[in-house]
Structure 1
Amino acid sequence: MIGLVVVSHSSKAAEGIRDIAGQMGGGKARIEVAGGDVDGGIGTDANAIKEAIEAADDGDGVVVLVDLGSAVMNTELAFEMTDVEAEIADAPVLEGALNAAVESTSKKATLDSVVSSAEDARDYRKTD
């Protein structure tokens, strides 16, 4: 199964997104979080992201959803620190995580299909 990682500058935000996406994935999605900096404040940490990626991986790869710019930078650094096949989805973190969680539970899910599903969320409109 494709694993998911939610990276946020806030540990509470990452955990909340994981909880919502996990419910949408029927409780079957493999979702890890990396939120906050090493001191428990606002920020991101490449080592924590690396650990989350490795925990989410069962050999099929991992899709990472990020909130803000430095989360991208630290995720890319984490990729350099692990051999896990992983990719950042260019998607809004909450909506993308929901889509990815649902797709990741499909028996036909691939790394590409989960990334694509997450990225479909970029086009969601909240109003007409």
Structure 2
Amino acid sequence: MSGVALVIVSHSVQLAEGVVELAAQMAKDVALRAAGGTDDGRIGTSFDKVNDAVTELRAAGHDVAILTDLGSATMTVESVLDFLDDEEAAHVKFADGPLVEGAVAAAVTAQVGGDLDAVVAAGRARELFS
């Protein structure tokens, strides 16, 4: 299966997994990965968790949209993006928007066949749920 997949990055394992669970209810065919918490299970973010999720999804042939909960999660994602070569970077983008609403909107857009740019735009759209 190809198409656009999502990585949900949160400081909390439970929050990342909950957003994945919610988005999956609206987009059953979209690959979703949670990358929450630190490597040892504390509150925080992990470069390795985010990078591993992106690597797994890219290896399966997906383009990848990434959403985050807070500023330092965004910094972690930006670091992961910085390590991608130019070819891979064309297939992985950050959707800077509201985590829950953005993830649902992005997942639904991916479910109906939206390309990476459309999925990222949906994930960034703050006014969808206002």
User: Which residue does 2:21 correspond to in 1?
Assistant: 19
Once residues 118 and 77 of structure 1 are traced to their aligned partners in structure 2, the CA distance between those partners, rounded to angstroms, is 20
User: Which residue does 1:117 correspond to in 2?
Assistant: 122
CA deviation vs aligned residue, 1:30-77 (integer Å, no higher than 9, x gap): 101110011100000111100011222333411000000110111111
Q: TM-score, structure 2 length as denominator?
A: 0.87
Once residues 92 and 32 of structure 2 are traced to their aligned partners in structure 1, the CA distance between those partners, rounded to angstroms, is 13
Gaps of 5+ in 1: none
Correspondence list, 1:1-128, <5 A: 1-25=3-27, 27-57=28-58, 58-83=60-85, 84=88, 85-107=91-113, 109-120=114-125, 122-123=126-127, 124-125=129-130
Once residues 112 and 22 of structure 1 are traced to their aligned partners in structure 2, the CA distance between those partners, rounded to angstroms, is 20
Gaps of 5+ in 2: none
Identity score, percent: 38
Q: Secondary structure at the match of 1:2?
A: strand
Determine if contact 1:50/1:81 at 8 Å carries over to the other structure: no
Once residues 105 and 66 of structure 1 are traced to their aligned partners in structure 2, the CA distance between those partners, rounded to angstroms, is 20
Moved over 6 A (4+): none
1:116 alignment partner AA: A
CA deviation vs aligned residue, 1:70-106 (integer Å, no higher than 9, x gap): 1011111112334432111111000000011111122
Once residues 84 and 100 of structure 2 are traced to their aligned partners in structure 1, the CA distance between those partners, rounded to angstroms, is 25
Q: TM-score, structure 1 length as denominator?
A: 0.89
